[in-house]
Amino acid sequence: MPIAFRYAARSDVGLVRSENQDSGYAGPHLLVVADGMGGHAGGDIASSTVIGHLVQLDDDASGGGDSADELAAAISRANRDLQRIAAERGELTGMGTTVTALLRSRNKLLVAHIGDSRAYLWRGGQLARMTTDHSFVQTLIDQGRITPEQASTHPQRSLVTRVLTGAPRDVPDVGAREALRDDRYLLCSDGLSGFVADETIGEILATGTPDEAADTLVELALRAGAPDNVTVIVADVVDLTRGHLPSVSPQIVGAARLSPAGSRALRQTPAAKAAELSRKLGLDEEREAVERLTLAEEKPSTRRGRFVKLLGAIAALAVVIAGGAYAAYAWTQQQFFVGESQGKVTVFQGVKDDLGPVRLSTAVAVSDVAVADLPETYRVIVQNGVTANDRADADARVAELRDQAQACVAARARNTTCGAGPVTAQSSTTSSTTSATATATSSTPSKSGSSSSTASSTSTTSTTRPPRSSSTSTPTPSGTSR
């Protein structure tokens, strides 16, 4: 089953911040949230840099077994780039960023995570957290010293123990899980998870479209008084042979959208190119299964065995002809699908498969949409045939494909990449990234613009985010200083 994401990305500066240091990317096969820290300029540069490196993976999202290595390698390259940038610009020393990413690899999802941004899965009416926070309070929870409820109000809940800072030790956790149709995933910065309860998040994810859910989650975070940047990505796993076709245009939000890295990602993202659906969407895996089945049927057999098979086939054919051939054919003529005829997107009545020499479909409406004008992803889908529920549904699919073709033709006329359409705009309250920078004084970045070096009781290098309240006298763990 070829699958992809139907997604929506949103980011808001929050109620206190003057700049957005979060960055988010959503494409057909890749979702990323990066929560930057390190001052007025450092945080947005750190998160944007990560997006610029990871976005290239959207082209290879359904690669083979080395996809996990590619994901880890891309994050490693981004981390080294952070080190280089900080070395060249002393005022950015101490900047860093969290990273939470989902990369589709055939019918599996690879998960990379470092920091306290989160990934959630909504499946079968249940919400499950896919990532574990790399934070001081999570360490206390793991040790049984506090409860998750106490963690939500702990004075050091903003203290993170692992992020990307450019140091060689900054390595994310990488895992994998199976992706199922109708799964819904949420990636978010702590601007959401720190202010909206998991139970409420689950209630929102249970209904509506990805766009509606993303808008509502950001609104709830702001209503809860979130001073921090809020970034969310909601994505559904969809079967590309059924339902409305998802967009292949990437969405970049937050700091990355306004940065050179974000602009470069939009121009260069292979997701926008939407190439080679048979490799990208797992169709090669299905074809391999068919080929294995064919080879199994073609193994050497005895003459007697072949004769028995022939008699069985003749008997089965006679039963079909005598009993239900007409009824079966009548049923096929009540079906519809969208395919290609004479180079045009066409509505067919019947089913895609033929019965020997008997053709089971007929072209009933040849549209004005040239298959060659479609993005490569949709072109291959149409050539393989797209199942429709009825004639009205088939016509609706043709209308969707017409929009995609027109957008593609317009993009080519502008000498831009077909499929790299307009990016979903951020909330109106999201501020632009300014050029001012704040000088950090130690190796551990802080969202507030100041930096501190914190040693917790677990001897873990920690990074302090500013407290979410207005208090300036927040206590620190024993042995730390601010």
DSSP code per residue over 275-323: --HHHHTSHHHHHHHHHHHHHHHTS---HHHHHHHHHHHHHHHHHHHHH
Residues 344 and 289 in one domain: no
For residue range 421-461, what is the model confidence (pLDDT) as tens digits? 333 333 333 333 333 333 333 344 445 444 433 333 333 44
Window from 45-49, 283-287, 398-402 with minimum mean pLDDT: 283-287
Query: Are residues 304 and 386 both part of a single domain?
Result: no
CATH number, domain of 15, equals 3.60.40.10
Tell me, yes or no, whether 148 and 55 share the same domain.
yes
Distance (Å) of CA 157 to CA 118, 225, 459, 463, 477: 14, 16, 17, 11, 11
Which of 400, 418, 436 represents a domain boundary (last residue)?
Answer: 418
Residue-wise pLDDT tens digits, 81-96? 999 999 999 889 889 9
Closest to 433 (Cα-Cα) out of 263, 266, 268: 263
Domain annotation covers residue 479: no
- Of 45-54, 60-69, 402-411, which gets the smallest average pLDDT? 60-69
Residue 394 in any domain: the answer is yes
Whether residues 269 and 304 fall in one domain: no
Instruction: Check whether residue 339 and residue 318 sit in a common domain.
Output: no
Q: In terms of domains, do 378 and 306 share one?
A: no
Cβ atoms of residues 111 and 131 within 8 Å:
yes
Is residue 143 domain-shared with residue 249, that is, in the same domain? yes
Q: What is the mean pLDDT of the chain?
A: 76
Q: What is the pLDDT of residues 138-168, one digit of tens each?
A: 999 999 999 988 888 888 888 899 999 999 9
462 or 475: which leads in pLDDT: 462
Of 264, 295, 323, the residue at which a domain comes to its end is: 323
Q: In which band, very low, low, confident or very high, does the pLDDT at 325 lie, cut at 50, 70 and 90? A: low
Closest of 162, 238, 161 to residue 480, by C-alpha: 161
Task: Check whether residue 263 and residue 376 sit in a common domain.
Answer: no
Residue 343 above 50 pLDDT? Answer: yes
Q: Are residues 70 and 204 in the same domain?
A: yes
Q: Is the pTM of this model over 0.75?
A: no
Residue 270 and residue 199 share a domain: yes
Query: Exposed, middle or buried: residue 148 (CB in 10 Å: 0-12, 13-18, 19+)?
Result: exposed
- The residue from 215, 240, 274 where one domain ends is 274
Q: State whether 96 and 212 are in the same domain.
A: yes
- Residues 44 and 97 both lie in one domain: yes
The residue segments making up the domain with residue 133 are 3-274
pLDDT for 124 equals 93
How many whole angstroms separate alpha carbon 265 and alpha carbon 283? 27
Q: How many domains does the chain have?
A: 3
The answer to whether residue 18 is domain-embedded is: yes
- What is the token pair recorded at 1? 């089953």
Tell me if 433 sits within 8 A of 19, measured CB to CB: yes
Please report whether residue 299 resides in a domain.
yes
Q: What is the pLDDT of residue 283?
A: 34
